[in-house]
Amino acid sequence: MTDQRSYDDRDGVIWYDGKLVPWREANVHVLTHALHYASSVFEGQKAYGGEIFRLTDHSKRLKRSGELLGFEIPWSVDEIDEACREVLKANNLEDAYMRPLAWRGSEQMGVSAQQSKIHLAIAAWPWGAYFGEDAIRQGLKLDIAKWRRPAPYTAPVESKASGLYMICTLSRHEAQAKGFNDALMFDWRGQVAEATGANAFFIRDNVLYTPTPDCFLNGLTRQTVMDLARRRGIEVVEKAIWPEELESFQQFFLTGSAAEVTPVASAGPWSFEVGDLTMQLRKDYFDLVYRRLSNS
């Protein structure tokens, strides 16, 4: 059973600037720079059977995301790794979603924030399938978002920055209001990009295709799945994908730390089958995260 309580009203502890604090006390002031100007970056990672999958890669990306927003998180990658393990243990969790978040504090107000303190918090909670179990059997129904991933010269697109999610929330809300699970986003050029919180993969005649991540996150799950496919001798092609090509693909799936490997049944006017290769890669992914499959 998922916990229906609000995320500010739960039991447990949250790692907050070096200390474990009671869940309900992990708060910020309303004049926090990050709330006004989106000066925050975050991670989403999962623990499987007590181990956080690709933990150090997530901590490195968090540090890098901060740098891309012009700030340095005052904890090292090793310290962030350790803090993540500590918060998992302190909450007695084995299988959990984890959310590290770094943000500019309230020392300065206005667009400039050179004097603001950089904070870091890490929370963990049990979280099942991101899209629900039905979606996995039937495949997701995706809308086509009207918002487009921005050009790399208009935003720090390699950063997992909160501000970049504004159009994701808008797109997913619009999709859900129409009965879809999520939305597929095109980019500023009109090329296929990704979903609102997960990368996209397509299959045609047993070859895997995925858009080149030049204006959106090159997800860690994306990289893992490309590696798993190559291990099976499957050709992986990274390239620009235009919407016209979508009708030629037989399968479509999403990848992400939360989305894991989730099949897609339709995107706008295009339909796909929940096929064997998608389900095989999904199984390989779970074998890897639960350490039934070696890392190389």
* Residues that bind ligand PMP in the complex, under the rule CB under 6 A: 44, 194, 197-199, 216-217, 219-222, 255-257
Catalytic residue among 160, 178, 239, 283: 160
What is the nearest approach in angstroms of ligand PMP to the Cβ of residue 196?
6
CB of 283 vs ligand PMP, minimal distance in Å = 18
Q: Nearest CA to 229 among 251, 252, 203, 250? A: 203
268 phi, psi to nearest 5 deg: 55, -125
What contacts 25, CB < 8 A, 6 or more positions away?
none
Alpha-carbon torsion (64, 65, 68, 74), positive or negative: negative
The alpha-carbon radius of gyration of the chain (Å, integer) is 19
Judge whether 160 counts as a catalytic residue: yes
At 93, which amino acid appears? L
Closer CB to ligand PMP, residue 139 or residue 211? 211
Cβ distance to ligand PMP smaller for residue 13 or 96:
96
**Residues contacting residue 16 through CB under 8 Å, at least 6 positions apart:** 26, 119, 120, 121
* Shortest reach from residue 47's CB to ligand PMP, in Å: 14
In the complex with ligand PMP, which residue's Cβ is closer, 56 or 112?
A: 56
Q: How far is the CB of 11 from ligand PMP (least distance, A)?
A: 26
Residue nearer to ligand PMP on the CB measure, 58 or 105: 58
Tell me which residues are annotated as active site. 160
